[in-house]
Chains A and B, each alone.
Chain A
Amino acid sequence: MSRPGARLRATLARHCDEKIMRQCIDPIIADLQAEYRSARNEGRVWHSRRIRFAGYASVLEVAVMCVWRGSFSAITEWPAVDLQALRRTVGWFGLVTLAGTLVILTPEYWKYAAVERFPVASLLYLMPYALSIALPLGLMVGIGAGLGRGPRSPRIAVSVIWLPNALIAVATTRNFTRRPFLTGA
């Protein structure tokens, strides 16, 4: 019988420190395996699949929280090169997102301005559509700016690339796993 989470654990073990593995990742994977095994033994195949999927989402969520906490708990102690890289990322991300939003909204503004005097409500309505394009663009440029130049430690790569994308992945995955699935362990 396959053991869910074993491969995920091996991947995480390469990136997380021993304490995070021991305190956060290992217990959740052990619980996932026990719950999955119990559902399979009872012949509840679909339930076991749901447990597996929801378990992976939880493992990722825990990993993101632990790594995030570890990466940012001592941000004031970061070396100057890492802080510069983070500033570049945040700065370029904000700039490009703002510029992209303005570029997308400006033509619409003039269209609405011909009809109403201050089309603020109409622009707010269009804002999510503009952001859906501007945010990924800003993220891409920000990551490029953060990692593109100068020396940096592996931590900044984790903070700049892995965490935002993992957060997006967790947020997306959680939408599919909102329903309660606990079997009482």
Chain B
Amino acid sequence: MTRRHPRVMTLSEKEWLILDLLVREGELYGLQLVAASRRRLKRGTVYVTLGRMEDKGLLTSRYEDAPADVGGMPRRLYQLTPLGRRMLTAFTQSGPVLLPELVR
């Protein structure tokens, strides 16, 4: 069965914050996002949100180029996709009208 109305993509406050940080800082690790958010993002939940945003196509990620002698797992860097950038722009323009709590 086809949907009569296409599903509207929404953006939670945390997702908006992540997009905003990424557009300002460029590529960031998960923990850098937590640090830059001044505790508005939590270490235990940020990765779940990032995964969800990747599924939505708002973000893309790549493994860092770690030096070979360091060892350990490669860290993951997140950056905006064009869709994420457009969503942020649209949300920033209409957000204060739709969700006044975002501009506190």
Contact = CB atoms under 8 A, between A and B. Distances in A.
A65 B44 CA distance: 9
A182 B47 contact: no
A13 interface: no
Majority DSSP secondary structure for residues of B touching A: helix
Interface string A103-116: 00000000000000
* Chain B residues touching A, range: 20 to 34
Nearest to A5: B73
Contacts of B75: 27, 30-31, 34
Nearest to A170: B44
A28 interface: yes
Interface of B: 29-32, 34-35, 39, 43-45, 47-48, 50-51, 54, 61, 70-76
Contact of A30 (B34, B45, B73): B73
Given A58-B44, A61-B44, A66-B48, A30 B76 contact: yes
B72 A24 contact: no
Majority DSSP secondary structure for residues of A touching B: helix
A62 B48 CA distance: 7
B35 A184 contact: yes
A132 B70 CA distance: 48
18 contacts: A1-B71, A3-B72, A3-B73, A26-B76, A27-B61, A27-B76, A28-B47, A30-B75, A31-B75, A34-B72, A58-B43, A62-B45, A62-B48, A65-B44, A65-B45, A65-B48, A69-B48, A182-B34
Given A34-B72, A185-B35, A24 B47 contact: yes
Interface of A: 1, 3, 23-24, 26-31, 33-35, 37, 54, 57-58, 61-62, 65-66, 69, 180, 182, 184-185
B54 A27 contact: no
B70 A37 contact: yes
Contacts of B47: 23-24, 27-28, 62
B73 A61 contact: no
